[in-house]
Amino acid sequence: MDEASTINADQDRLVGVVSDLKDLLGNRLQLGVAVRDAHGHDESWHETHAPDAVAFAASTEEVAQIVKICAAAQVPVIAFGTGTSLEGQVSAVHGGVTVDLSQMNEVLEVHAVDLDCRVQPGVTRKQLNAYLRDTGLFFPIDPGADASLGGMAATRASGTNAVRYGTMRDSVLSVTAVLATGEIVTTGGRARKSAAGYDLTRLLVGSEGTLGIITELMLRLQGIPEAIAGGICPFESLDGAIDAVIETIQSGLPVARIEVLDEVQVAACNAYSNLDLPTSPMLFLEFHGTDTSVKEQSERFAAIACEHQGGSFTWTTEAEERTRLWEARHNAYYASLALEPGKKGMTTDVCVPISNLARCLRETKADLDASFLTAPIVGHVGDGNFHTIMLIDPENRRDMAEARRLHDRMVRRALALEGTCTGEHGIGLGKMAFLEEEIGQGVNMMRTIKRALDPQNILNPGKIVSL
């Protein structure tokens, strides 16, 4: 293990790098404390590790040059989109240069017939959907935050629509990326499927900037459905809600979104988003299809809910009301944080086979009810994935010890139930300790790949696997 992987970049080498980058980028290289600090943390509780410099890149070629300059001096390079990750992915734990890709934010091509588009990595999901407004198409992956598409690919993000449309794994046709050597690789074309060698696209998707920096993406789009129906359904118990989810999925209802909120999360959303939902466990749903089929789906779900002590399922195809509810759902994380201002969120992200979901949620809820921490539950339960947002003061050792204890129990429970420690947030810093437990020998295989593609360990070092 060389020093660059364990301590901040050596100052002399750094001075040379900064000088070279200044020549390349001019004012787009920033060294001010405020800019560096802003790039040293994401939206989670993980502490700030500011990079030594922030480079605002304008093109793939420029990213390649930045990486080459840093590689020659063994200085770390960290990719940054919007900083909305939740596991410390952007934190410069070993210093180095953060490459901010937010200025590379052009939608380059849209092929409506082929349902695909080519974008730069700084384009955010909302920006893309606004751009697509008149095409009849949309990009379905929505992790809540208005994240950049490069960052979403890098963390293999998903969100509320994944139960119907899959995750970033399924939505990225190919990428262009800069490797640790500064080489530029494009992993494929626009074909909907390919069997041409190793799946480099999927290797880079979810690699969190540790194997390459994504500088362009070819994305799959979806047609906006003829009709959308959505609504909410309160339940007497969390168990009842989950049983209704399981029956919905099993019956083959092609639900587009099916989300659970426990009563703590509902109360948080009421307060934050000015709603007056009954404070009981609740499902948020959405159905996509034709007028006939969304009506059929909504009625079928209402019948299922009824069998599981659900309240009445009120649904509408009217856009305004749906939007208001889904905005509240998307703001669940911020609503949770607002419950105890000043605290930070430690987010859990387990995902289990749906048949094990009721048990996993029930035992988790019992743990949380017995704890002194406030921790709403919200989840993409159609996929078996849910989050608790544990409100903590990272300086408070009692908070941290309790949050870690609960987190450990949750992950071990999920692994025992054949699940994963992270359905969609990624490993970053926060889940590294669990990855080995989850995947055993597989971590060695990951290390081998990392060492081969980045022998100097300069790409986002200290994330996913320790070397």
Here's the x/- map for its own copies, 3-22, by CB under 8 A: it reads as --------------------
Given candidates 31, 108, 223, 291, which one binds its own copies under the rule CB under 8 A?
A: 223
Under the binding rule (CB under 8 A), the answer on residue 367 touching its own copies is no
Residues 155-174 that bind its own copies (CB under 8 A): 155-158, 162, 166-167, 169-170
Q: Which residues pair with 385 in a beta bridge?
A: 351, 380
Under the binding rule (CB under 8 A), the answer on residue 442 touching its own copies is yes
Comparing CB distances to its own copies, the nearer of 32 and 136 is: 136
Tell me the C-alpha distance between 204 and 209, whole Å: 8
Given candidates 17, 93, 241, 427, which one binds its own copies under the rule CB under 8 A?
A: 427
Comparing CB distances to its own copies, the nearer of 53 and 244 is: 244
Comparing CB distances to its own copies, the nearer of 352 and 390 is: 352
**Tokens describing residue 424:** 């969609």
Under the binding rule (CB under 8 A), the answer on residue 425 touching its own copies is yes
Q: Is 136 left (phi over 0), alpha (psi -120 to 50) or beta?
A: left
354 DSSP assignment: G
Under the binding rule (CB under 8 A), the answer on residue 134 touching its own copies is no
Under the binding rule (CB under 8 A), the answer on residue 418 touching its own copies is yes
Alpha helices in 212-308, H assignment, sequence order: 238-250, 263-273, 291-307
Residues 275-334 that bind its own copies (CB under 8 A): 290, 292-293, 296
Contacts with its own copies: how many residues (CB under 8 A)? Answer: 90
Under the binding rule (CB under 8 A), the answer on residue 227 touching its own copies is no
**Sheet with 53-56: strands ordered across:** 29-30, 53-56, 97-100, 77-80
**Tokens describing residue 234:** 């309160």
Under the binding rule (CB under 8 A), the answer on residue 191 touching its own copies is yes
Among the listed residues 215, 170, 179, 157, the one whose alpha carbon sits nearest the alpha carbon of residue 68:
179
Residues 109-128 that bind its own copies (CB under 8 A): 111-116
Under the binding rule (CB under 8 A), the answer on residue 408 touching its own copies is no
Among the listed residues 143, 147, 157, 154, the one whose alpha carbon sits nearest the alpha carbon of residue 127:
147
DSSP reduced 3-state for 78 = strand
Based on C-alpha coordinates, what's the Rg of the chain? 22
77 DSSP assignment: E
Under the binding rule (CB under 8 A), the answer on residue 34 touching its own copies is no
Comparing CB distances to its own copies, the nearer of 32 and 189 is: 189
Residue with tokens 């790409």, as numbered in its chain: 459
Comparing CB distances to its own copies, the nearer of 246 and 389 is: 246
